[in-house]
Amino acid sequence: MTDETRRHWSALAQAYLDSPTHASGEDLDTVLAFADPQANEVALDLGCGVGHTLRRVAARVRLAVGADATDGMLEGARMLLAREGIGNAVLILTPAESLPFLDASFDLVTCRLAAHHFADAAKAFREVRRVLRPGGRFVLSDNYAPDDEALDRFINALEATRDASHVREHTILGWRGLLEQAGFEVTDESRGTIRIATEPWLQRSRTPDDRARRAREMLRGAPKPTRDTFAIDENGFDLLKVVLRAAR
């Protein structure tokens, strides 16, 4: 992650604290169900952002660690944890690709709506496997691209137009492949969608005016197969979500 990207995300913490897309949702409930946190466990939430997943996990485990690459997001997480009265969570500033933890430090790792920002998701997933104990589990939740190449190109181009820190929404086979290449066995999968209102989506990321105009044009001018796949209308569109549970 570049210094410019870090500065960009540091300024967005309040918007993500208030974002219903991040604070709640069916995928967050699925993450918790797949993770099945236990009272005696130590958990890591990777790319924790302002802490919406972290606070849910921390309430169920002995100790929870939130790791993120941006100071501003971690400051937002501190605010959320204090507001919720959560005292068993600590926050660590670190890139996902080089975690400052000993081998086999955690029983459980979660990563929600962050991996599409990782500069090297394959390396990050190898790090997750390293810091998980044998038999530990990793729950990944993220957006995914359809298998069709044109649809894949469209959603990734749209995301990158809106947010320059976007790297890649993989297909489901792509996400699964990265996990398997890192040494995980994928044991469970859940798919869904989340409705995105276009204007709040652009405002939340403080997309520059020229890029916001381009994103709106992409949505308005999308061909029918794209409009159908992502349920595009004048107010918004659907993002495709997948939650994967993987065992070390």
Give me the phi and psi of 95, to 5 degrees please. -70, 150
Whether residue 68 contacts residue 47, with contact meaning beta carbons closer than 8 Å, is answered with yes
Q: Identify the CA nearest to 159 among candidates 111, 193, 198, 125.
A: 198
* Residue 26: per-residue pLDDT: 82
Q: What percent of the chain has pLDDT over 70?
A: 90
Scanning the structure block, which residue is given the tokens 């320059």? 164
Q: Identify the CA nearest to 26 among candidates 244, 192, 198.
A: 192
Query: pLDDT tens across 51-97, in order?
Result: 999 999 999 999 999 999 999 899 999 999 999 999 999 999 999 99
Q: Tell me the average pLDDT of the chain.
A: 93
126 class by beta-carbon count within 10 Å (0-12 exposed, 13-18 middle, 19+ buried): middle
H/E stretch holding 16: helix 13-17
| CB half-sphere exposure, 191, CA atoms < 13 A | 11
What average pLDDT score do residues 25-39 get?
94
Q: What is the DSSP string of 171-216?
A: -HHHHHHHHHHTT-EEEEEEEEEEEEEHHHHHHHTT--HHHHHHHH
* Residue 3: per-residue pLDDT: 54
What is the C-alpha separation between 106 and 83, in angstroms, rounded? Answer: 26
In total, the chain counts a number of residues equal to 248
| CB half-sphere exposure, 99, CA atoms < 13 A | 30
List of E strands, the chain? 42-46, 63-68, 89-93, 106-112, 132-143, 185-197, 236-247
Query: In the structure, what pLDDT confidence band is assigned to residue 42 with cuts at 50, 70 and 90?
Result: very high
What is the C-alpha separation between 105 and 75, in angstroms, rounded? Answer: 24
Residue range 3-145+165-194+240-247, CATH number? 3.40.50.150
Whether residue 189 contacts residue 244, with contact meaning beta carbons closer than 8 Å, is answered with yes
What average pLDDT score do residues 145-168 get?
97
H/E stretch holding 53: helix 52-58
* Residue 170: per-residue pLDDT: 98
Integer angstrom CA distances of residue 117 from 68, 167, 236: 11, 5, 22
Scanning the structure block, which residue is given the tokens 């709640």? 24
Alpha-carbon dihedral 48, 51, 55, 57, rounded to 10 degrees: -20
